[in-house]
Amino acid sequence: MEENSQSREQVPAPAHPENGNSNLEQGQRHANKGQDSLAARLTAGDREAAAELVDIYHERIYRFMRRLGHGRQLSEDLTQETFLRAWRHIGQLRDGKALEAWLYRIAGNVSKLYWRSHKVKELTGMESIAVPYTGEAGHDIIGRQEQLGRLQGAVDRLSWKLRQAIVLHYMQHLSIAEAAKAAGIRQGTFKSRLNRALNTLRRYVS
Amino acid sequence: MEEEKLKELLSEVAEQMAEPARPGLAEDIKHQIPSRLVSHAGGMGSLNIIIDLRVNRLVAAAIIMVAMILFADLFGRQHPPGDNIFQDGMMLVEYVLGSNVGRGGLSALRSRYERLMERGEEVVYYGDKADLGNGMAVLLHWKTSDGKYRVVFGDLSERTVSPETLIRLQAHMLQEKKAK
């Protein structure tokens, strides 16, 4: 199931800082080149490039919205809104290499504006946790399910900024540099935010 | 708990928190690609800066209003292609007013209705009768080139919907009116 869901995210996940082998670096260079040319076509007003942008990133942005705690329907709406704003403000995209971070930044702002204007916090239902059968003994499965449930509850309780940091780096697998760009902050600030988030989660879960 | 264990669990939670997107979602989004992608560098950026700096809402409102007046003067009281300034203004109104959409939002919507009318769009405005702040109430809708409808709701959110959905929304509004 994990394999299936990953294969549907059409762009290979960016190299994680820890995975610095040459294949990944080469893949990353190709991805950057692709992003560069896509960004150039977008800023030139190419509608086909806009459609390509949707094909490549809609899955990621949708999942980002879901992981930020929005419901299914709302995540679809907010994904739609993210692309609408991206096209409307295509002139702000100056650095082609930062295309993905730029899109995540717009998505983050769309989500943040939604939370601010809707004070009642919408939480992802705990029923969405479904632990696949892994051949473990029954008590192990239950123990793990409880642990995952507690962790998701803890992520839900994080402040928006801390949650964004966790989602960008550990769930969307952006590198520290990309995630910091996506959050619109310096790398140092992002790292300290990430540490605070991890400490909070650790307290809740253990 | 060890850091590695926590990271491993987070990765597992991530997979379970988000199912794949609906297959038709990409096509729905593509239908909304504007006929002309305008390279416009202003607007959202300035608004984000204001929001990110956490400026007092009234100060932010004042800044944007002054900016809008300046832009309006600059363009001879006409709006540039793409309604970008208008969209940013609406975002600000949403931000300033929160969920309480007030007279500011309504009057901006009214001007938008008038502009769409001038452009000869098939537009319907319910603003005078509609339920402000209600995310299910339709305030304004107009037909798009692909036969769908762009709808502005009572909470000033916007969506593109099919004709069938619009009929359902209108029926829902009528039922709510009857109930009152």
| CATH number of the domain enclosing A61 | 1.10.1740.10
Residue B111 lies in a domain: no
User: A166 and A103 in one domain?
Assistant: no
Structural domain total, chain A: 2
Per-position pLDDT tens, chain A of length 206: 333 444 334 443 443 433 444 444 455 555 555 666 888 888 888 888 999 999 999 999 999 999 998 888 899 999 999 999 898 888 777 766 788 999 999 999 999 888 877 755 544 443 344 444 445 555 565 667 778 888 888 888 899 899 999 999 999 999 999 999 999 999 999 999 999 999 999 888 77
- DSSP bridge partners of B155: none
**Among A80, A159, A168, A186, which would you mutate to test the B interface (most chain B Cβ atoms within 10 Å of its Cβ)?**
A80
Enumerate the residues of chain A whose CB falls inside 8 A of the CB of residue B52.
184
Please report the pLDDT score of residue A146 as a whole number. Answer: 79
Q: Which of B28, B63, B98 finishes a domain?
A: B98
Q: What residue numbers bound the domain in which B166 lies?
A: 121-180
Q: Are B17 and A128 an interchain contact pair (Cβ–Cβ within 8 Å)?
A: yes
For B76-134, how does the pLDDT look when each residue is reduced to its tens digit (9 = 90+)?
Answer: 555 444 455 555 566 555 555 554 455 556 677 777 887 787 777 788 888 666 677 77
User: A174 and A99 in one domain?
Assistant: no
User: A111 and A63 in one domain?
Assistant: yes
Residues 90-149 of B with CB under 8 A from A: 91, 94-95, 98-99
Enumerate the residues of chain A whose CB falls inside 8 A of the CB of residue B42.
91
User: B129 and B161 in one domain?
Assistant: yes
CA–CA gap between residue A134 and residue B37 (Å, rounded): 49
Residue B79 lies in a domain: yes
- DSSP bridge partners of B143: B149
DSSP state letter for A133? P
Name the residue in chain A with its Cα closest to that of B23.
Answer: A59
> Which ipTM score applies to this complex?
0.71
User: A168 and A103 in one domain?
Assistant: no
Measured CA distances, B37 to A118, A134, B86 (Å)? 31, 49, 17
Measured CA distances, B128 to A111, A175, B110 (Å)? 30, 50, 9
Comparing CA positions, the residue from A74, A89, A101 lying closest to residue A42 is A89
**Closest Cα of chain A to B101: distance in Å?**
10
Buried b (16+ CB within 10 A) or exposed e, A132-149: eeeeeeeeeeeeeeebbe
Name the residue in chain B with its Cα closest to that of A44.
Answer: B39
Q: Are A151 and B39 an interchain contact pair (Cβ–Cβ within 8 Å)?
A: no
Q: What residue numbers bound the domain in which A114 lies?
A: 14-119
Q: Which of A58, A92, A119 finishes a domain?
A: A119
Structural domain total, chain B: 2
B3, B15, B34 member nearest A198 (Cβ): B3
Q: Which of A119, A151, A183 finishes a domain?
A: A119
**Is the distance from CB of B91 to CB of A84 less than 8 angstroms?**
no
| CATH number of the domain enclosing A144 | 1.10.10.10
Measured CA distances, B86 to A63, A104, B93, B172 (Å)? 30, 24, 10, 29
SS3 B123: strand
**Is the distance from CB of A170 to CB of B11 less than 8 angstroms?**
yes
Enumerate the residues of chain B whose CB falls inside 8 A of the CB of residue A8.
20-21
Which phi and psi (to 5°) does residue B174 adopt? -60, -45
User: A113 and A61 in one domain?
Assistant: yes
Element (H, E) at B6: helix B3-17
For B4-21, how does the pLDDT look when each residue is reduced to its tens digit (9 = 90+)?
Answer: 888 888 888 888 888 889
For A126-163, how does the pLDDT look when each residue is reduced to its tens digit (9 = 90+)?
Answer: 334 444 444 555 556 566 777 888 888 888 889 989 99
CA–CA gap between residue A191 and residue A185 (Å, rounded): 10
Residue B11 lies in a domain: no
Residue B156 lies in a domain: yes
Q: Are A202 and B1 an interchain contact pair (Cβ–Cβ within 8 Å)?
A: yes
Torsion of the alpha carbons at B26, B28, B30 and B36, rounded to the nearest 10: -160
